[in-house]
Chain A
């Protein structure tokens, strides 16, 4: 139904040669072609952030991002963050502080937090809150998510 195109995508450090629909979103390709289901569909309109992935280090809503645009870029999904089964400091802090309830916003939150701390290792509380502007959570009131990001930042700076 949709015109097909060949693309080469770099996802979590691996190259994939795929034939995909021209109008398929990156989210659809991740979830339904590559079975990388850690990235979630929450709204489809770029308003909730559950589908966030890193594209060249920037957090991007993959539900409104055409997969063809990701060619030549480095895409990191939630599955690509932890290495050798070890949690990243951001992931570890989310677990410990109780920032995870239903968990559906969690992959997007972790992606956003990871990008923030790479860019700004010592964010103020206001900067953390500003970074979460495009991530919705319905369970936690964001309280423990903000605490988790603060804890991860301290640990990554070697302060905790």
Chain B
């Protein structure tokens, strides 16, 4: 967006604010709430198409094997089996399931490593074949009768095995004959040697290595796709996804179709959190529909979701920090190995995203990041709320607390001394804009009664049940700038009854994106938000968007909405000026009318203005009042969080109970406080599970996920949640954001686990180096520390 356009936009926002905001900044329930609470919301699995077939996948029982042969003869004999697809009868077009735009396939960022069906299977749960049949029972039976001959191959499951000398290749696309996916990413304020030297020259040097677990999004709605290849050669996919335009590219590439012959429609999504950002099995369902000419549905079981979708990268992160006597961080070096599983997907890109966050929190003159995604034979990792960021925040925040313990610093004071200040340049020379992390820390310290509660907790440290108080920080961006293009387009059309429809490629994942965009449009057009229909994410109907990812929706979508609504407002004032024979500068929009500012009784309704324009009544050509605007991000803006918590640990059972949690967020102006709080609550829930209970346990012998169900994959229940949860905001507006808003989706969760681990460390007086903090792990650490 040109500089002038940007300045005009900000000037316009200021005028609206001066008038007083009516919808922005006000709580408002999710606009789909009534549909959802009555069971009428239609998710993908609720679609019922005539003659629809049901699909079932055959998943690999082996972590690494070559498929020698597939015999489907017994399966084909079952009545009602309509198609069986597998490596030997499907197209072999390579793709990357996380590809975001055409040509986005660099071997460094987005290596293409996947096929609809490959000759090799590379993890337990990899696709071998798929059946479409008249009902799900027939499909399931047919899958059981497919005979596959495998040639077993050696496999690796963790990053150490994968990087060992002479390790088997989990995937043949690694760089230089290794399991490194994409390549090493290494950069910093100075050269690697200079940063390491600066750290070593500091008064104190600390180094810790942290092991990160593989966790799943645990969205309640299992992955589901419906495809229909119609006789005119058009493939339509209905999916529960986060990025329909990306899906269109990937599906088209996998099936060899032009983009114009693929339409992807996002349905209401039952939770995603990054887990539905990559194409999953959509190409398979598309292929089955092409083979049968009938609609085909695939709905995964929960077990299949755990085995064959995406999850957060596990791995190992080492943080080395040099601190001077005065408590200033002189230098920091981070080495990160992310286990990306069997296929590239967004592995290298997750590393890239996490590297960026490394530099945006602490003010150290010397910093360096070195990291890589690593192939192994476990289910592929992908995007998950934070996109690599929790894997930096958690190790570093626990490392910072260790520094505090050893140097005798209070964790709050040490952080206050070292965090970046508003409008400061970091060590890479990037401006952090209105970064209010120090304000978040201060607000939290006060609201949490930090010193008093730390002391009170320490008074319990001789008892069986000990309390601990800890904190952790986080930073997250909003959008991709300056790494990739980041744009979205919004169209708003006015109807001749004075209502409107807003078309956007933005995806609402239950987060309330549609609600928020309607609030923003309503603020400008003065139409009740409930009278603005919001149509989202359909590749043939809505304008282009790059998906619900990178916490970009409110920032990018919100600004595009302002631009489009403002254009429409100008069209309204222009037509009204002709109707009223009053100059534009005397007119204002007010509650569905254009009124003459100095004579408010002289007015005309939006409905009448639209009708007048369509009839050409004022002598202008007949026209629809419609506006389309594209917003292009030209500013990297960051949200910040300081999380505080108190825990109780029973030193006989090593059960941890979180007693109180306080999240302090700087997300600029909050557009909808009700939805904002909901995002934070959910982020806390996810972070608590990451810290304490959730882990996809990989069998070290077979590579199989040992707990693919909600009984054994333990997400927090209501009874596990802290009895007290509070959310505070530091609402200093961010100029580039819509009405001063920044992001919240990912920042809500990024810092939670660090605060919890630090509180447990405080309670037990030990260093903790992995998550989740199971009772067995805590017991082993405490017993080891007693022995030493």
How far, in whole Å, are A146 and B717 apart by their CA atoms in the complex? Answer: 12
User: Are A139's CB and B510's CB within 8 A?
Assistant: yes
User: Are B45's CB and A138's CB within 8 A?
Assistant: no
User: Are A1's CB and B45's CB within 8 A?
Assistant: no
Given the known inter-chain contacts A47-B709, A145-B718, please indicate yes or no for A104 contacting B39, CB distance below 8 A: no
User: Are B710's CB and A136's CB within 8 A?
Assistant: yes
Segment at the interface with B among A3-11, A35-43, A66-74, A115-123 = A35-43
User: Are A43's CB and B302's CB within 8 A?
Assistant: yes
Interface size counted on chain A using CB atoms at 8 A: 55
Q: Would you list which residues of chain B between 24 and 42 have a CB under 8 Å from chain A?
A: 27, 29-30, 32-42
How far, in whole Å, are A139 and B217 apart by their CA atoms in the complex? Answer: 10
User: Are B38's CB and A91's CB within 8 A?
Assistant: yes
Distance (whole angstroms) from the CB of B711 to the closest CB of chain A = 5
Contacts of A145 in B (CB 8 A): 718
How far, in whole Å, are A131 and B144 apart by their CA atoms in the complex? Answer: 39
Q: Would you list which residues of chain B between 675 and 728 have a CB under 8 Å from chain A?
A: 675, 677-678, 681-682, 684-686, 709-711, 715-719, 721, 725
Most chain B CB neighbours (cut-off 10 Å) among A2, A95, A135: A95
Distance (whole angstroms) from the CB of B663 to the closest CB of chain A = 10
User: Are B270's CB and A103's CB within 8 A?
Assistant: yes
User: Are A138's CB and B42's CB within 8 A?
Assistant: no
User: Are A101's CB and B682's CB within 8 A?
Assistant: yes
Most chain A CB neighbours (cut-off 10 Å) among B33, B43, B716: B33
Distance (whole angstroms) from the CB of A22 to the closest CB of chain B = 12
User: Are B39's CB and A38's CB within 8 A?
Assistant: yes
Does B273 sit at the interface, judged by CB under 8 A? Answer: yes
Does A154 sit at the interface, judged by CB under 8 A? Answer: no
* Interface residues on chain B, size class: 35 or more
Distance (whole angstroms) from the CB of B311 to the closest CB of chain A = 14
Contacts of A133 in B (CB 8 A): 717-719
User: Are B719's CB and A42's CB within 8 A?
Assistant: no
Most chain B CB neighbours (cut-off 10 Å) among A42, A132, A133: A42
Does A102 sit at the interface, judged by CB under 8 A? Answer: yes
Does B511 sit at the interface, judged by CB under 8 A? Answer: yes
Inter-chain contact total with CB atoms closer than 8 Å: 176
Segment at the interface with A among B218-226, B539-547, B649-657, B735-743 = B218-226
Mark B290-326 against chain A: 1 for CB-CB distance below 8 A, else 0.
0000000001011000000000000000000000000
How far, in whole Å, are A107 and B725 apart by their CA atoms in the complex? Answer: 25
How far, in whole Å, are A43 and B593 apart by their CA atoms in the complex? Answer: 51
Distance (whole angstroms) from the CB of A2 to the closest CB of chain B = 6
Distance (whole angstroms) from the CB of A105 to the closest CB of chain B = 5
Contacts of B38 in A (CB 8 A): 38, 78-79, 81-82, 87, 91
Q: Which residue of A lies closest to B218 (CB)?
A: A138
Contacts of A82 in B (CB 8 A): 38
User: Are A139's CB and B271's CB within 8 A?
Assistant: yes
Most chain B CB neighbours (cut-off 10 Å) among A48, A91, A137, A145: A137
Q: Which residue of B lies closest to A37 (CB)?
A: B46
How far, in whole Å, are A137 and B718 apart by their CA atoms in the complex? Answer: 9
Distance (whole angstroms) from the CB of A122 to the closest CB of chain B = 19
Q: Which residue of A lies closest to B681 (CB)?
A: A141
Which A residues fall within an 8 A CB radius of B?
Answer: 1-2, 21, 31, 35-45, 47-48, 50, 77-79, 81-82, 87, 91, 94-96, 98, 100-107, 110, 128-130, 132-133, 135-146
| For the complex of A and B, 5 pairs with smallest distance between CB atoms | A38-B39, A102-B510, A103-B36, A104-B270, A78-B39
- A-B contacts, 10 listed (Cβ < 8 Å): A42-B220, A87-B34, A95-B29, A98-B678, A102-B269, A102-B272, A104-B510, A105-B220, A141-B681, A145-B718
